[in-house]
Each structure stands twice: as structure tokens, then as C-alpha cells.
Structure 1
């Protein structure tokens, strides 16, 4: 299943200024009308029903690499696009975006949903690239990688040339299953959710990446409350 990662969820700025932030105050609610910002190349259209990744304020801005514990505080939100602003908006620290007003249909914690996935061989696959050595996985080309254990799963990231990748994998009796797959490069980005049994080549590559990966830890003090 393809999912979409907004550039940012448009919140009341006052909610993020204090020492703590209430999840109840910022988490999308079923039936609520919310607003999200998408860059022009990822903008949707009125009437579309999309599955969106929701992240707490810190990782929305900085990514899971800086605060891996917030993977457990992230959600998948199904939303129907009501309308899209015809003009670009500017926000400090972000690319120009189109504001999308959406109606929230469902909001489900990410990790329990990943744990409940059933295997789907056609859900997604790791990105490959052609080189002088032939076709290789982009993950074979990483020059920096990191990993963290989260709720019995493994979060893995890698940088390769101009690509940035994220995986959440499940290790079952020595066999790896990918559950979340993100790939970003100058040509665009793609994010998929689905239980994909890594093939032999993918297994070897991702195991090597995990073994040499820098171990991640939170860089921001806990600030989320119920």
C-alpha cells in the first residue's frame, strides 16, 4: 500500500511552543477537518482518499533518525481531500506547499498496524539502480546507515549518493520481513506499507547494513504527554 508523507500538518503554532505537547490536542480525530501541506510534486486533488503518515512535531521537522522513539507515537491517517489551495504557501524551514483541507476518516497507531500486516509479495520492493557493475540495490551503495530497535522491530536508515532510505523490518527466526519502506531522492519520494518477505539478495544487503549501522538514540528530551 502506498502512503503519503505530508511536508507538514498545519497545527495551531501555540500548541508546539511549550515544554510539553499534549497528544490529545494535536492528534487528528475521526470526523475532524484538518489541513496539511504538500509540495507541488506530491499535491493531491479534491475528492481523493489518501493514507497519510502523521508524526509528532519533532520528527515531522527532524525525522525519526533524531528521535526514533517517536516511531511509536506516529500514526497512519486515512483522509479525504476536500479542497486544495490554488496558491503556494511559504513556511520557514519548509519548501513551498499547497494547503490541503482534509476530512479525517480513520487514525491508527503505526506500529500496531505494522505488527498486524499479512505477507503480500506484491506490496513493494527495494529500489534498484544501474551501475557499471550492473543492477544493484540502492541499499548496497550506502555510505552512512543507522538503526534502532523499536517495539520488537528494527528501524534502519541509509544514505547513498543523493538517496535517503528508511525501513522498518521484522526479524522472524532469522528471516527479515519489511513492513515500512521509504525512499527519497531528487526525483521524488515514495513510501509504502506492507509485509514484504525480503528475497535472498535483499536479506543479505539489509543484514549487512544493520550490522554496520550507527545505533540511534533520541536527541530531544521527552515532551509528549497524554
Structure 2
């Protein structure tokens, strides 16, 4: 990300989006210390969303986020600062919502769970608050907070059946867990998510108004 350009009022998307066939130096932080050399998939989002998250003013930028597919190499670690450096050669990039159609359906739930003292577990979303939602046409974005974890889902509803396409559990200070999937919610899971959707506040997002598809607004710090 070129942050000098990222503070402009309006930016050409292509000027910031990494190019297929090129290699870029990247730095990962302590939340991503599990990264290894080899095949990798990295979520790229516009600068405002990268800085503040989709839930801050601009969930519509999900529509202008991409999955970068490529190879990580030349790993260097700075253990004192918990920083990890790689070269990332990009093989291709795909718009996130288009990538959903490439994923086969799975029976493995992406919803994160928390272990209980009696040996059982509960779905982490069960106790989420600060719930927010945003309609993305065929998809719905849902976010919430449980303890020190930020939770995100991108869902679709087909004939009253809810599917999860994206699930992120952003633990603090532990590592991130992000999945692109296609999972049909089981009955109890669907009832829970439907309850949360009803409770969630709508996010007001005017960032797409009068803005061409190939452009984005620059970052705003909180």
C-alpha cells in the first residue's frame, strides 16, 4: 500500500491495487506469525478499510476488496519487534465477492467457538454485542464484538437458507482467523444469526454515492 497516495480525496483503484506478475515486499505483524513461505492468499482492501476495518463508515468497500493469490518467499523475522517480512509474488487477483463463486460448499462450520469449563463449547457469536450490519445487494455484512474479539460475517440468503461466504475472528492479541467458504448454516446456527441480524444496527455508508466503479475515496483516520 502506498500510504502517501492513500490520503487523497479520490483515488483510482488500479493505482493502488497490486498487479499480477509483480513481486512486492510485505510486512506481517505478530497476529500473523504463523505465515510460512509458499502458496498464500492475502485479502486486499482499500486504504480506509485496511486502516479502520469495514465496519467503520465504509462496508461498501467490500465490493472493492480483492483476494491476492501468490507465493511468499525470502522470509526474514524480527523477533524483538514481532515483525515478519516476505517477498510476495502475485499470480492473480480476484474481486472478493467474485471469489465466493469459486469456493465449493463445505459441511465444516466457519463460526468460531469458545471452550467452556465443562468441556463443551459455544459459538462465539452467541455473546456478541455492538452488532452492525450492511446490505451489499446479494450479500449481507454483519459485525460484532465478543470479549476482545472482533467478529465478521458475509452472508447470503437463498430461499430462506443462510450461507456463510466469509468469516473472520480477529482475536486480540492472538492471531487472526479468516476463512472464505460456502457453508449452509445448520438450524440452530441460523436461528442465532437471524436473531443477531434483527438486533444489529444499520451502518450508514455514503461512500459509494456519485463514485465511479474504478475509484475509491482515500483513507480517513478515526
The alpha-carbon distance between structure 1 residues 18 and 88, as it changes in their structure 2 partners (threshold 3 A), is farther
Q: How many residues align?
A: 209
- Which residue does the alignment assign to 2:187? 200
- Which residue does the alignment assign to 2:49? 59
* Displacement of 1:163: 1.7
Cα-Cα RMSD: 2.5
Mapped contact 1:125–1:196 kept (Cα < 8 A): yes
The alpha-carbon distance between structure 1 residues 220 and 84, as it changes in their structure 2 partners (threshold 3 A), is farther
What is the SS of the residue equivalent to 1:178? strand
Q: Does 1:172 align with 2:162?
A: no
- Which residue does the alignment assign to 2:30? 40
Task: Specify which of 71, 74, 77 is matched with residue 62 of structure 2.
Answer: 71
What is the SS of the residue equivalent to 1:36? strand
The alpha-carbon distance between structure 1 residues 115 and 71, as it changes in their structure 2 partners (threshold 3 A), is same
CA distance in 1, matches of 2:94, 2:208: 25
Q: Which runs of 5+ in 1 are unaligned?
A: 1-10, 91-95
Q: Does 1:16 align with 2:6?
A: yes
What is the SS of the residue equivalent to 2:63? helix
TM-score by length of 2: 0.84
- Which residue does the alignment assign to 2:132? 146
Q: Which runs of 5+ in 2 are unaligned?
A: 217-222
